[in-house]
Amino acid sequence: MLVIEAVQLKHYGEISALVDKPVIRYQKVSKSFGDLKVLREIDLDIAAGEIVAVIGSSGSGKTTLARMLMTLEQPTSGVIIVDGEPLWHKEVNGELVPADEKHIRRVRSKIGMVFQQFNLFPHMTILRNITEAPVHVLGIPRAEAEKRAVDMLNKVGLGDKLNVYPSQLSGGQQQRVAIARALVMRPKVMLFDEVTSALDPELVGEVLEVLKEIAAEGETTMLLITHEMDFARDVADRIIFIDKGRIVEQGPPKVILGNPRNPRTREFLSRFR
């Protein structure tokens, strides 16, 4: 780790460490699609157990920020470090070089993600949906995986739905299954990208409630992309406002939502009043 930091300092200049031991560190991370600069030199540290909400207009780069952490997009430049290890890079003789697929997959497995679309396997029962990855990716014995799955389903309030199929559940229930499916892998970090956006309004509350409970347990580091400002105020330790690919303001919910300094943050938040 020491060597990595030295290399990064050499290549990427000063590290602006916001927290002592970040579980996630974005360091001068930029992303372009062709000529379109979507993220510009993002520096972001997330501490273990921290709950960070990312807000910003549509198209500001929030999803791309998350997708890079899930390795669904590759940064154009900069380094992402997960739990002390570079995600897209490997350290060889003190230099950071592009990592191979095996390294990327291993580091990525420390992260769990829930998207807008729940993407459950339609032909599998709920129990099976949740146990597939623990059994086939982690190599956990099926009986143990089922025990974990039942615990998780109880946690999201669906302990009685083990043997039904996704089509028999409401959207809100399916999303709770998707959350249980990600949590059962015991990731270091959970990423939630607008998990309530595809739901009918009356189903949003139950999903946010589950997220609040997970947050309150304090065991999971969470990066939440959300348009639900009240929810962000309730659960987040820190809110980050992204505008045109840059973090323009961040701080405790009270400050960012109650008394933002940046005119762009103010303008954005005025749409929610």
Interface residues toward ligand ADP, by CB under 6 A: 33, 36, 38, 56, 58-64
| Spatial CA neighbour of 116 closest among 225, 19, 16 | 225
CB of 233 to ligand ADP, least distance (A): 20
d(CA 109, CA 91): 19
CB of 242 to ligand ADP, least distance (A): 7
CB of 75 to ligand ADP, least distance (A): 13
d(CA 128, CA 107): 25
Angle, helices 201-217/171-183, rounded to nearest 10 degrees: 20
- Which are the contacts of 56, defined by CB distance < 8 A and separation ≥ 6? 62, 241, 242, 243, 268
Q: Which is nearer to ligand ADP, 2 or 36 (CB)?
A: 36
Q: Which is nearer to ligand ADP, 56 or 75 (CB)?
A: 56
Q: How far is CA 270 from the centre of its chain?
A: 26
HSE-up of residue 202 (Cα within 13 Å, Cβ side)? 1
CB of 190 to ligand ADP, least distance (A): 17
CB of 113 to ligand ADP, least distance (A): 14
Q: Which is nearer to ligand ADP, 32 or 109 (CB)?
A: 32
Q: Which is nearer to ligand ADP, 146 or 249 (CB)?
A: 249
The single-letter DSSP state of residue 188 is S
Q: Which is nearer to ligand ADP, 118 or 241 (CB)?
A: 241
Handedness of CA 65, 67, 69, 72 (dihedral sign): negative
